[in-house]
Amino acid sequence: MDREKLLSLEDKWIAGGGDYSDIVISSRIRLARNLFNLPFPQLMKQEDINTLFQTISTIVDGIESKLELCQLSNLDKLEKRILVEKHLISPEHSEKGQGAVLLNNDRSISIMVMEEDHLRIQVILPGLDLSEAFKLADKIDDLLEEKLDIAFNEKYGYLTSCPTNVGTGLRASVMLHLPGLVHTKQASRVLTALTQVGVVVRGIYGEGTEALGNLFQISNQITIGRSEDEIINNLYSIVLKIIDQEKAARMLLTREIEIALADRVYRAYGILTNARTITSEEALSLLSDMKLGVDLKIIDGIEGDIFQKIMISMQPAYLQYSMGKEMSPGERDVNRAQIIRDLLSK
């Protein structure tokens, strides 16, 4: 994968837009699939791995036009980490380092090879667009099934490495920006209740990560016993309810603490446009406040997609790779502040 594509901030979901983009950052569909005649990745020997790669290489052109196969073994640690920061591969996939990823031109399609399963088809789009994401993922899945012997059981559905994915093999997830619920201290109540309706709440990079910058990922927990449409429609209806609650919380903030909210927003903007050193955690928190101000029209003249662009460009691996050198945490903090100032001054 060339440097220009790796550093591009024009990935489809990063470019922003879509329905409810003031609250919904992205929608993602992931389908777990395995080949019938090969062991699961954890049990594969080198000859099995070679067979998998040879098989995938021969069908790349038929999966989707202009799909690029990138072997992780050909990338250094910063390049692999950038793919994680852009949500194109998982942290676990990066750490294993022996798999590959198939990417289309705008990086809306990402097919992980040799992650937890032989194949994980992922489509990530901006805003709330689960239906379109699934439509595209399902099309790719159909093309794969025409060419590959996918492990499927009439009783249990698609067979996967982890039992929690058996059935449809479908994980639908949405990344939400919920500063209203957090600042009005309703987030814990609202998000805890989701576990009772088959939904899991995770941090910014998935399982085991923190919900920094008031960003939360919610996804379906059940993959068996329901159809793909039922899973997607259920998550969609839940997200709409959360959106309504977030909007109500934002209205409460503007009505009851209007001056304090404006002060918070402008202080965040002031620090971001003037800081000479800043940590990633502080920057993400301030960006969240600034985005809230932009979405509530407290601040004018800032493009809606600037949040995603700064969020990616300030990440440790992206930052170091773009500067052409590895840096100490202190050096990263100085360069992060510079990059944020530069992006906000455009």
- DSSP state letter for 217: E
The residue ranges of every structural domain in the chain are 3-251, 257-345
| Rounded Cα distance, 45 and 190, in Å | 45
C-alpha distance from residue 244 to each of 20, 219, 318, 333 (Å): 11, 18, 34, 36
pLDDT of the residue at 62: 64
Q: What confidence category does residue 174 fall into, taking pLDDT thresholds of 50, 70 and 90?
A: very high
Residue found by looking up tokens 């080949």 in the block: 35
Query: In sequence order, what E strands does the chain have?
Result: 24-33, 68-71, 100-103, 109-113, 119-126, 152-153, 157-158, 170-177, 199-202, 215-220
- Which CATH number applies to 3-251? 3.30.590.10
pLDDT of the residue at 63: 67
Helix axes of 130-147 and 46-63: crossing angle, nearest 10 degrees: 120
At 70-113, the pLDDT tens digits run 899 999 999 999 999 999 999 999 998 789 999 999 999 999 99
Secondary structure class of 125 (helix, strand, coil) = strand
Residue 207: pLDDT above 60?
Answer: no
At 180-189, the pLDDT tens digits run 999 999 998 9
| Rounded Cα distance, 308 and 315, in Å | 11
C-alpha distance from residue 216 to each of 24, 190, 334 (Å): 10, 12, 27
